[in-house]
Structure 1
Amino acid sequence: MRGVTALKKKKITDLLIFIVSAELVGVLSALLSGSFSETYLSLEKPPFSPPGWIFPVVWGILYAVMGISAYLVHVSQGSQWKRSNALKIYALQLFFNFLWSIIFFRFELFTVALIDIILLDFAAALMTVLFYRLSKAAGLINIPYLIWLLFATYLNAGVVILN
């Protein structure tokens, strides 16, 4: 019985590590980005731009989902090589994600941010496919993330055109 309890604790600890590490990427990026609301309010925005308060709520949820999906891949039955490669792409897309807010809000380099988010779109799409091959749930729960990224790409492109 102790072995089962220890295994459950390890799994819960691992899951929390994946979730917290993904959330930390978002928190650190936000801290390094400077004043989100000031920049966002000053921009000409394309149609369907949401109010600024939506972004931290959505991103908080999406970072948790990314962490959960990475954990599901980590514990999946796929080969070590496939899991490792999928998690490397996960880390790559987190890197592009981390950079985007800093490029867009701190430096206001909207075209460079657009390039970054397009790279992020491709990396996240590849991650989702690789995750799906290892764990259907891990892939499927990232679909809202992909949709949100494409919407964010539209918003970024709109800012480039309008500003």
Structure 2
Amino acid sequence: MQINFATLKTFAIAFALSYLTAGIGAGLTELGPWYFSLKHPEWKPPDPYFGVIWSTIFTLCAISGALAWQSAQGPNDKKRIILLFATNAFLNILWSAIYFKLQRPDYAVFEVVFLWLSILFLVMGLWRINKKAVLLLIPYWVWVSIATVLNVATVKLNGPF
């Protein structure tokens, strides 16, 4: 891979958009009295780990997006990349809003299915464009799978909401 201005610009934009998504989601995440009053499953990772996990995931997503963009073969590929990542970013932010701002983990269980599917669609949609970009999304998919089980367990321990 040749490093030039266009490559640097692509990576800068990908990181800016990925971290903007992360920042909005983090801004919606309030670990206040309501959250700390919830019963959590014993296997839940400690709260400080979530920031490290999500920072890693958003970094991998930025690299994935930039690699896919560089490999795009025309405007249709680029439209697909934008649509897939934008949909995923929206659903990622929406989950945080539902769970933390609305304080509705039960509704978040429903929404997280769409978030999980959006990662599947990213994987499928980028597969023919850049397989390395897809591999970078696997930790995200695994983490959202774990988070989904955690979300369900939290609802079972605390419902109804």
TM-score, structure 2 length as denominator? 0.89
* Cα separation, 1, equivalents of 2:72 and 2:61: 19
Task: Assess if the C-alpha contact under 8 Å between 2:28 and 2:100 holds in 1.
Answer: no
Select which of 62, 81, 85 maps to 1:86. 81
The correspondence of residues 56-95 of structure 1 with structure 2, limited to 5 A, is: 56-95=51-90
Count matched residues. Answer: 157
> In the alignment, which of 13, 20, 25 is matched to residue 17 of structure 1?
13
Change (3 A) 1:76 1:154: same
Give the whole-Å Cα distance in 1 for the aligned partners of 2:84 and 2:139. Answer: 18
- Residue matched to 2:142: 147
For the aligned residues, what is the CA RMSD?
1.8
Which deviates further from its counterpart, 149-158 or 77-86? Answer: 77-86
Cα 1:50–1:83 shift into 2, 3 Å: same
* Matched position secondary structure for 1:134: coil
1:32 is the counterpart of 2:25? no
Would you say 1:51 and 2:43 are equivalent positions?
A: no
Q: Deviations over 1:111-159 (max 9, x none)?
A: 1111111100001111012112210100011101100000000011111
Kindly report which structure 2 residues correspond to 1:101-112, keeping only aligned pairs within 5 A, or say none.
Answer: 101-112=96-107
CA contact (8 A) 2:108 2:151 kept: yes
Contact 2:98/2:108 (<8 A) preserved: yes
- Residue segments in structure 2 that go unaligned for 5+ positions in a row: none
- Post-superposition, which runs of at least 4 consecutive aligned residues in structure 1 deviate over 4 A? none
Q: 1:98 aligns with which of 93, 105, 109?
A: 93
Q: What residue is the counterpart of 2:130 in the other structure?
A: 135
In structure 1, distance between residues paired with 2:155 and 2:22: 23
